[in-house]
Structure 1
Amino acid sequence: MLAHLAVFLVLLFSMTVRAAKFTPEVMLSAPRRSSGVPNSDGSRILYSVSTYSFENHGKKSEIRVLDAKSNESKLVTDAAGASEPQWLNDEDVLLLLPGQTNSTDIAVGKADAFEATKAIAGNFDGSGTSIRVKKISDDKWTFAITGLAKPDGTPYSAGKAPKKLSSGKLYKQTFVRHWDSYIAPERNAIFVGTITKPSSSAESGKLSYALSPLRNVLAGTGLESPVPTFGGIDHYDIGEDHIIFVAKEPTLKAGFSTKVNVYVANLYGTLAASDLIYQVLVPGFGGATTSPVFSKDGKKAAFLMMQEDGYEADKNQLFVIPDVRRPNWLLHLLNSTNGKGSWPLSPGGVSFSNNGDDLYLVAEDRGRTSIFTTPVNQPAESSPPKKIYSDGNVSDLRVLADGNIFISGTNIVDNSFYSILFPNLGTAKLISSNTENGKLVSLSRSQVADVYFKGAERDVQAFLLKPSNFDSDKKYPLAFLVHGGPQGAWEDAWSSRWNMAVFAEAGYVVFAPNPTGSTGFGQDFTDAIQGQWGGLPYKDLVAGYQWIEENLDYVDLDKTVALGASYGGYMMNWIQGHELGRKFKAIVCHDGVFSMVSQLASEEQWFPTHDLEGFYWNNEEKWLRWDPARFTGNWSTPQLVIHSELDYRLTIAEGLAAFNVLQARGVESQFLTFPDENHWVQKEENSLMWHTAVLNWINKFVGYPPYKAEDEAPGTVINH
């Protein structure tokens, strides 16, 4: 089977033929393209792309440049480890390459002849990432890179670190571990310098650029930026002479607080001035902060900040600093008299227009991630931001020199598209679709629909996916998917972990609802899950299943299965103990909560403390009210449990406990684990094993044949 698949994939990678069928192998092998980096007018786009081969069991990565007019791409470099390409001008490209002993080389070359012209401008003595480049003049740029720093502020290189004689780690406060790693003494930092172009060598043809010594802007401050674990380029920005960044409040225990401050520093003043870092004070706001950005001229700045400490899904509110030389002069845009903000949506990103008079906001909106615009000088309670783009999931936007907007995004059937938005015209033009709008992987937008049903307290949206060969005269089994978070949402977006189309193309009708607690439907709907984990969302799911019973006559109600991960995994365990669990023939629980008390072992303690309305010892009744373990006496539906060793968000004990209960009760069950995965399953071979186990499990209970025979599974199957 794989031999035939490999031949097809070679053709697929060249983007010249169509897949016969969308399968997990096709999804995992399809080229994964980064957000695009356009040149000044958007005529050429830099991007990185990686492709995994199940035939060779290896990954190939490239950096390429796409011609927007012809839609043809050209290789820039396929050097191992090359990353983060940026334009210095419309011809010269800067990118990162692995250096010696875990260092990072900063390389520059012509986009059209990179390998022939490249030269190393300088080196960062550590593993660098999240770079920013800001043009100062035709031959000078500010350059910033993030990486780990030792306690003394100098870059940390793992290859040069002395080996400890003991593996012991003594901690004096949280975090002990975060996401999938134990906390070490090193901290993230931002290193800044300049790149100059002194000359060009006609003899060698090599470019000549020079990187100045890099200075750790955070040295001696006790601050860390980007904020771990997922902070990156969205946690800082550089202007012509200032830097703006966010960092956790250093006086609070990290595991119990989400408070993140925003800071502004001068980069090129006197020694004394450049050492000064100003904290931007925001009275009444003590939550997380993100997306600090400068206007094009570097004179203004904007950022997003949450009001409530300890609530990671609070609404992001919008602030503008009209003059970065006066960082505590603030405008609170879209404000309201009650302090909660007049706009019900929560933006996830912000950018300035070229003239600095308008802001572009990226925000979840009813199952999409859309672009909105609002004036910088908007009165407090006036018109809400105007929606100017809503098609799929916008992952990145960049304002071009002519004021138009370059968009990178995905949707359910396309893992990467690039478009140009013309804000003044209210129209957009597609430049490139990685899958030709799903055509190359045998998917179509016509398979995807939005439906609404009456939930516990308001109408609830859901995505409905049908197989590409759907026949209205036939009946199909149902895959009922519950998303994680719980403050998250199913969106019109591509995923390589929970891809709705994989289940649709396996022969299922897919129902993916966004119940109470979901994001993108107004902050009140998101907030309503507090103290209601097994309450309102469960009622919404029951109502969604009832809607299916009453409206989808092509669904075979004797062949329905439920699947979910994280909070969705919690809900699988909760459903097991309640009436809805008897509706399904089988359940898949990935990284789910088994016992609420076990949440005390999680790293981010602010999360259960907020959602369960207080510390356990002060609020035991509310913690236990929604505890799935209380209802294990009702567990009877066959269940596959998946939980991995490096999941420090929900420890593996949760999965083992659920599996032990199922086994003790004689309920048909299986347990899948990965010792090298965290809360997600990201490695391609592991992901194929995940999909094989999941599809084999649910197929068994709806009468479909196995996706693969057990002896074809990429992992180890243990029968004893």
Structure 2
Amino acid sequence: MSLRLLLLGAFSAAMATTAAAVAAEPALAAPRGFTVEDMVAMERVGSPVLSPDATRVVYTVRTTNLDKNRGNTQLWMIDLRAPNAAPRQLTRGDASASDPQWSPNGDAIYFLSGRSGSSQVWQLPLNGGEAAKVTDLALDVDTYRLSPQGDRLAFSMGVFLDCADIACTKKRLDEKAKNKASGMVYEQMFVRHWDTWADGRRNALYSAPIDASGKVNATPVSLSGTLDGDAPSKPFGDNGEYHFSPDGKTVAFSVRVAGRTEAWSTNFDVYTIPAAGGQAPRNLTADNPAWDAKATYSPDGRTLAYVAMTKPGFEADRFHLVLMDVATGKKRTLADDWDRSVADFRWTPDGKAFLVAADDVGQHRLFHIDAASGKVAALTGKGAVGDFDVRGNTIVLAQASLASGAQLYTRKLDAKSENAPLQQLTKQNAQALADVRFGEYEQFSFAGANGETVYGHVMKPWNAKAGEKYPVAFLVHGGPQGSFGNSWSYRWNPQVYAGAGYATVFIDFHGSTGYGQKFTDSISGDWGGKPLVDLQKGLEAATRKFPWLDRERSCALGASYGGYMMNWIAGNWPDGFKCLVNHDGVFDNRGMAYATEELWFTEWENGGPYYDAPAKHEQFNPVNFVKNWKTPMLVVQGDLDFRIPTAQGLGTFTALQRRGIPSKLLVFPDENHWVLKPANSLLWHHTVLDWLNTYTKK
């Protein structure tokens, strides 16, 4: 049977349910394990936004179409005034609809869609009628934000900054498409970023009024175009990087203007400019050479809150919450003694506090921080909070865990306790996964490197029985400044291994986030030191504590830094595992230093550019220990991965083959640092599980 027929057959049952059937009672069936087919087919909930009066919430649901090998996102709404109200689908079609925003009076929803052939802003009236196009521009609108009064849009597009208008960029792109020559000439970095070769365009902010017809007909005014940087930032920036003032007269945004040093600079600054243009942007944070971003006005417009780092060149430094008096420019750091890094934040409606999301000891929690005193209170407990919004006394949030993809919940703002009740709004995938028994999981701690407390998780196979031992999938997270905690992933998900009969262990080693900045900082310059000790001690501690872990049948897996660690383990813990899986991992620190795109990362982690600090780059360089390799390894590489380029994966595979070590190479020509396409995800997981089975289930 062909792979395609196999994949389609596996999907036929999983894809039968739709969002509209979410509330149906699940049928009873014999329990089974969670599969990759289940995971890829899951509907994904996100982007909840409350209406101005907090009576409704609009959100997105992403479904997967295997035939088209892509996802499709549409808008849904729930009326919070009706108990157990059924979700209502607002948009349909082959083109996705995303980024919902409410009109000021709550009678319409704005959104982005490519339904007309290019990405534009649309408006959907809620009292009936079809969606109408708000923008009809010659270029794609990538992000947007509606002014508080609903009379103006700020939005971003990719443009050539030396063009006087949008038409110039369109003309230049059309001419380039006709040119049969494909070569590109560069005079400075970035040459390429993440998965895209630079073509000279910048993300630039624009503004335009919405006229009485509800459309943008006036010529857009450039807001950031005089600045040689990307607003929002590439490759993942969004409209969280710019906001209107409450009166709609000013836009605050962040951008990095670094010229020829851009590839090794993290110096983003906060700027303001009149929403109607006419003046040059004003830099409010020129005194800080590190990262400043996400500037957001207080409800009364008198204070600008933003996040700021203090260490130039260090992307994993702690994000502090800073408050700036708009009139005087005076700044103060809020809750400076709270040793957590702010991932996202919102002002409360009264302007007296903030809702803040942050990693915290294996969870990603929501916190309440008083704007005057800096007092911090946890609002959620275990699990991972994603997107959230607040209006009036209502908070809506998306929350996931190791046993559930994100669902939407509401809770009261004035209940300042992590034990306050959550009202579940969505039950996505309930019917499709009704017969799935998820693996049970538990957090544990142990004495790691330097005797310091380190945390990890274990998960049982879905069908675990008392007294039996199970092969171990030992998962190592990337970043390296990240966390493998109580959250849900559509790429590295322990439940897929639990569903295949594996116990899983994953450790938040030194360098992980959510345990204080000193702990996060401790990995820099020590990639193969304390983290390896933590992994060794963590697996040993887990094996002692959980007798169902079969240490003799264990394989280790990791991507990015986790892939680096597979190469490091191969040379420095060669008897540790039956097999290894290395996805997009660093093989040679020297080659990485001269080929990756975000140079600030490798230079910070290794004490400077390679030519200035060769010894530090070589100290924990996997290529120097290839002579010790003997563990079978599966190597996975995305050919569009410009973060850890293809030569790193090829180098790993070459070393394995040359030494005669059992090995395989799985290459995805159309994937970047992540495997995102549904069919590729299926192939990835089946290849990985087959590799594990070969060495652990004999």
Q: TM-score, normalised by structure 2?
A: 0.91
Say whether the 8 Å CA contact 2:263–2:600 is kept in structure 1: yes
Say whether the 8 Å CA contact 2:34–2:437 is kept in structure 1: no
Say whether the 8 Å CA contact 1:415–1:434 is kept in structure 2: no
1:580-595 superposed matches below 5 A: 581-595=574-588
Give the secondary-structure state (helix, strand or coil) at the position aligned to 2:618. helix
- Whole-angstrom CA distance in 2 between matches of 1:557 and 1:219: 58
Counterpart residue type for residue 272 of structure 2: V
- Whole-angstrom CA distance in 2 between matches of 1:59 and 1:623: 40
1:228 matched to which residue of 2?
Answer: 234
Correspondence 1:145 to 2:117: no
1:190-589 superposed matches below 5 A: 190-197=205-212, 212-239=218-245, 240-251=248-259, 253-268=261-276, 274-281=278-285, 283=287, 285-323=288-326, 325-326=327-328, 328-335=329-336, 342-378=337-373, 385-400=376-391, 402-426=392-416, 427-435=420-428, 440=433, 447-457=440-450, 458-579=452-573, 581-589=574-582
Superimposed CA distance per residue, residues 31-90 of structure 1 (whole angstroms, 9 cap, x where no aligned partner): 122221221244322222222244675644432223343341222121323332222132
- Whole-angstrom CA distance in 2 between matches of 1:477 and 1:539: 22
Quote how far apart the aligned CAs of 1:109 are: 2.4
The count of aligned residue pairs is 670
Give the secondary-structure state (helix, strand or coil) at the position aligned to 1:253. helix
- Whole-angstrom CA distance in 1 between matches of 2:284 and 2:382: 35
Unaligned runs of 5+ in 2: 1-5
Quote how far apart the aligned CAs of 1:150 are: 2.0
1:713 matched to which residue of 2?
Answer: none
Superimposed CA distance per residue, residues 97-136 of structure 1 (whole angstroms, 9 cap, x where no aligned partner): 3276x644432222363xx333333323211132211332
1:128 matched to which residue of 2?
Answer: 141
Quote how far apart the aligned CAs of 1:515 are: 0.2
Describe the shift of the 1:653–1:160 C-alpha distance in structure 2 as closer, same or farther (beyond 3 A).
Answer: closer
- Whole-angstrom CA distance in 2 between matches of 1:315 and 1:4: 44
Q: Identical aligned pairs, as a percentage? A: 29
Give the secondary-structure state (helix, strand or coil) at the position aligned to 1:292. strand
2:13 matched to which residue of 1?
Answer: 7
Counterpart residue type for residue 415 of structure 2: L
2:123 matched to which residue of 1?
Answer: 108
- Whole-angstrom CA distance in 2 between matches of 1:637 and 1:216: 56
Say whether the 8 Å CA contact 1:86–1:95 is kept in structure 2: yes
Quote how far apart the aligned CAs of 1:4 are: 6.4
- Whole-angstrom CA distance in 2 between matches of 1:109 and 1:618: 57
- Whole-angstrom CA distance in 1 between matches of 2:77 and 2:625: 56
* Residue 96 (structure 1) aligned to one of 77, 93, 112: 112
Say whether the 8 Å CA contact 1:153–1:216 is kept in structure 2: no
Quote how far apart the aligned CAs of 1:299 are: 3.2
Describe the shift of the 1:282–1:372 C-alpha distance in structure 2 as closer, same or farther (beyond 3 A).
Answer: farther
Say whether the 8 Å CA contact 1:358–1:374 is kept in structure 2: yes
Say whether the 8 Å CA contact 1:318–1:333 is kept in structure 2: yes
- Whole-angstrom CA distance in 2 between matches of 1:545 and 1:347: 30
1:33-112 superposed matches below 5 A: 33-54=45-66, 59-68=71-80, 69-79=83-93, 80-88=95-103, 89-98=105-114, 103-111=118-126
Describe the shift of the 1:485–1:520 C-alpha distance in structure 2 as closer, same or farther (beyond 3 A).
Answer: same
1:683 matched to which residue of 2?
Answer: 677
Give the secondary-structure state (helix, strand or coil) at the position aligned to 2:17. helix
Give the secondary-structure state (helix, strand or coil) at the position aligned to 2:638. coil
Superimposed CA distance per residue, residues 390-414 of structure 1 (whole angstroms, 9 cap, x where no aligned partner): 34211222111x2332212322222
1:695 matched to which residue of 2?
Answer: 689
Describe the shift of the 1:311–1:408 C-alpha distance in structure 2 as closer, same or farther (beyond 3 A).
Answer: same
- Whole-angstrom CA distance in 1 between matches of 2:153 and 2:85: 30
- Whole-angstrom CA distance in 1 between matches of 2:697 and 2:547: 19
Superimposed CA distance per residue, residues 480-501 of structure 1 (whole angstroms, 9 cap, x where no aligned partner): 0100011111122211111111
Say whether the 8 Å CA contact 1:447–1:465 is kept in structure 2: yes
Q: TM-score, normalised by structure 1?
A: 0.88
- Whole-angstrom CA distance in 1 between matches of 2:220 and 2:523: 46
Quote how far apart the aligned CAs of 1:222 are: 2.7
2:200 matched to which residue of 1?
Answer: 185
Say whether the 8 Å CA contact 1:197–1:210 is kept in structure 2: no
- Whole-angstrom CA distance in 1 between matches of 2:427 and 2:171: 37
Describe the shift of the 1:221–1:353 C-alpha distance in structure 2 as closer, same or farther (beyond 3 A).
Answer: same
Say whether the 8 Å CA contact 1:437–1:444 is kept in structure 2: no
Quote how far apart the aligned CAs of 1:142 are: 2.7
Superimposed CA distance per residue, residues 368-420 of structure 1 (whole angstroms, 9 cap, x where no aligned partner): 11122223233xxxx652222234211222111x2332212322222221122
Correspondence 1:154 to 2:126: no
Give the secondary-structure state (helix, strand or coil) at the position aligned to 1:124. coil
Correspondence 1:172 to 2:187: yes
Give the secondary-structure state (helix, strand or coil) at the position aligned to 1:48. strand
Q: What do you get for the CA RMSD once the two structures are aligned?
A: 2.4
Superimposed CA distance per residue, residues 204-236 of structure 1 (whole angstroms, 9 cap, x where no aligned partner): xxxx55654422211233342101111112211
Quote how far apart the aligned CAs of 1:621 are: 1.4
Say whether the 8 Å CA contact 1:65–1:111 is kept in structure 2: no
Say whether the 8 Å CA contact 2:34–2:498 is kept in structure 1: no
Give the secondary-structure state (helix, strand or coil) at the position aligned to 1:636. coil
Say whether the 8 Å CA contact 2:191–2:197 is kept in structure 1: yes
Say whether the 8 Å CA contact 2:98–2:112 is kept in structure 1: yes
Say whether the 8 Å CA contact 1:302–1:350 is kept in structure 2: no
- Whole-angstrom CA distance in 1 between matches of 2:218 and 2:64: 37
- Whole-angstrom CA distance in 2 between matches of 1:692 and 1:445: 19
Counterpart residue type for residue 263 of structure 1: Y
- Whole-angstrom CA distance in 1 between matches of 2:74 and 2:196: 28
Quote how far apart the aligned CAs of 1:474 are: 1.3
Counterpart residue type for residue 44 of structure 2: R
- Whole-angstrom CA distance in 2 between matches of 1:97 and 1:535: 48
- Whole-angstrom CA distance in 1 between matches of 2:144 and 2:297: 15
Quote how far apart the aligned CAs of 1:677 are: 0.6
- Whole-angstrom CA distance in 2 between matches of 1:391 and 1:130: 32
1:708 matched to which residue of 2?
Answer: none
- Whole-angstrom CA distance in 2 between matches of 1:55 and 1:276: 49
- Whole-angstrom CA distance in 2 between matches of 1:697 and 1:134: 53
Unaligned runs of 5+ in 1: 199-207, 336-341, 705-720
Q: Which moved more, 1:66-75 or 1:221-230?
A: 66-75
Quote how far apart the aligned CAs of 1:315 are: 0.8
Say whether the 8 Å CA contact 1:108–1:209 is kept in structure 2: no
Say whether the 8 Å CA contact 2:42–2:429 is kept in structure 1: no
Quote how far apart the aligned CAs of 1:189 are: 1.0
Counterpart residue type for residue 93 of structure 1: I
Say whether the 8 Å CA contact 1:241–1:298 is kept in structure 2: no
